[in-house]
Chains A and B, each alone.
Chain A
């Protein structure tokens, strides 16, 4: 049978080169959390510069910028936001959603023993390590590392002397992205095959929990979009090393010397890049939407409202997600009539997102809401996604986008979606599935403290960025106060920086709680949250092979408070935990 592999015997095959989806999931989880710390520190340095521009940075400044006398240099600043974006997107959000939760949950929630291709699964994790190595190398390159933004627009990224960071660092960056892409590609093939082929008996497509729908659609998005990014990355590498000139037009004088290029077209990169990277935006939100749908229903003790419309919305978002990439390019110089087309498709995509929000609200209405830590984070997702989604409507209107494009309005928007949205869902999911993963619980009281502080500071950090964007305050700018019209906006930025530091500090509570929970947390046996989905039909943590025998699914995942049931939940499979425990 596909997916079956023998129980590992040695430490190396069990914990390092493991083919068990649960171990691989945890490997992804741990590496993502480590990178989250790195990405977070980069963000703190960005905030430092924006609050106290060109002043000596405490502690780190002396050894990082000995040559500049302890201050952030402009090229270091361009590296900071480039690497902050890169790391958060490719090393944190995508791996934590798909690598960690996708891997861990898919086989358990569909009631199978493992992924369809366990060895491929192992490779998908270990292909991340060359990417990690290349990113470390790029940090050590001239100019502190790549500095053309995570979007790496040519010619800045492609011509070697366009910026200090466009030397070796950019090539290492491209190599890292190639490996990340390969890793995701292998993962997504595995997820699609597993979900389509290995569901246990009775698990029809319309009995899949929303988490799995989110993962499936996301994996399909990746499988179709990633090849385009891969091609673009290879083309940029060729431009840089072979002089092909795909993206560099002729006759450029960069930094007083002529750049190699004949008939290249920088806009081509933007099209290819966003053809992947806009679907990537949905890759970074759909699994989170799935997970919070399951948590909301569980802790409202009420069936998920509008399951089928939810599924159709996810599919609609994914389909339309391929048709909206041009909204990143409204002012790029692409034909403005194409801007009109992309404006229309972007308006359309707001609709399924809206439908999801309304269904979440309807799920809560009439429920019996339990304020557990994962529930609070899920509620925060809904509350924050509303803000991020609505500001998206404003930006979809291209006549207005021309003004807010490349301002802090955009920065506020995607941080509301990705940080206040997705990362909230990820925190919720960690609190929720932690007992499943480690057989122990994280402390709930400290979890709520972590939630409260994060929720307050996240809004303190990102809401004022709307105001900055409203004023036209440009992003990716090392010293905006040098521009006359923005001279007065330092105090607001300083306030944002205080909130950002507090937000980072509040995460220490989570770190301590996480490790405390792993080793000292309350033992969690059985169905901790009285949830319906299949992962709770086995022990915590599940043994190798997950289930003693495959559970038989008899109903959908959202049968909470069924009038004919004594309990307020009715698991998808009635195999009792005892008969399943090995």
Chain B
């Protein structure tokens, strides 16, 4: 019976590791891909980090779990009196310094990716006479309970002017180049999330956070809201479409014509 308890605790690292390794090696029935597809360099960078940290914590998880199970196997229900030891300085030093090193490594290693995704906007994309400057947003995403609106600045490149082009529930961006998007909320906090880009940014009303990303190839994906925004939170989704630049331009011109012809008809 005593040995059975140690086996029970052994199940934790064994099953845990098998599950993850099995999924990574595409063993049925675990072979649904856990991470969503990658549609841009941003996703690849985050995934590399995600997998690396999982390997590190997976090793620690397996080792500590095995030590626990081994201790229970070896010393469970034993007759031999326990060892009278209170502490061991070298051991304490050992398991303080090594984990500290690992944690510092993870912290520093992931720093450039955070900086790239959240701190640096794509500077190289726009060169002005004064040198390199921040790229202006291609469009503004306006969130409200429970839908998404996408506003393109139109001919004058300025938002909140008469020639803004507005679409509902469908966001079009050019593929293969960095895009900057400004986010805004009209009511409560929403969150702009595209899982295939590993991108998430809360939209606090009153702030106008910007995100940037690059989608490598044309295709259609989903934007979901990932911050609780009320009863209809679950259905607050929209489409994101990426198309080559010329198709994007055509689409924008068509939208513009449709919108202003419609408005003209309305007058």
Contact = CB atoms under 8 A, between A and B. Distances in A.
A271 to B, nearest CB: 12
Interface in A362-405: 362, 364-371, 376, 379, 382-383, 386-387, 390-391, 393-394, 396-400, 402-403, 405
Nearest to A267: B204
B35 interface: yes
A442 B198 CA distance: 50
A54 B60 CA distance: 41
B259 interface: no
Contact of B234 (A250, A306, A478): A478
A347 B106 contact: yes
A130 interface: no
Given A252-B205, A485-B222, A387 B16 contact: yes
Contacts of B74: 365
A565 B231 CA distance: 66
Contact of B117 (A399, A474, A484): A399
A354 B95 contact: yes
Contacts of A227: none
A333 B202 contact: yes
Nearest to A387: B61
A393 B188 contact: no
Given A355-B96, A361-B71, A568 B117 contact: no
Nearest to B185: A252
B241 interface: no
A265 B204 CA distance: 9
B44 interface: no
Interface residues of A, number: 109
B216 interface: no
Interface residues of B, number: 95
B250 interface: no
Interface string A224-262: 000000000000000000000000011011110001000
B233 interface: yes
Given A253-B187, A333-B207, A362-B91, A397 B75 contact: no
Interface string B73-99: 011111111111111100110011001
Contacts of B87: 305-309
A336 interface: yes
Contact of B92 (A306, A364, A560): A306
Interface in A329-344: 331-333, 336-337, 339-340, 343-344
B82 A568 contact: yes
Nearest to B119: A336
B55 to A, nearest CB: 11
Contacts of A393: 53, 56-57, 103, 106
Contact of B195 (A337, A472, A563): A472
B33 to A, nearest CB: 8
A119 B49 CA distance: 54
B235 A479 contact: yes
A235 B64 CA distance: 45
B8 interface: yes
Given A394-B54, A403-B198, 8 more contacts: A333-B201, A340-B115, A382-B68, A386-B65, A394-B53, A397-B49, A406-B227, A472-B36
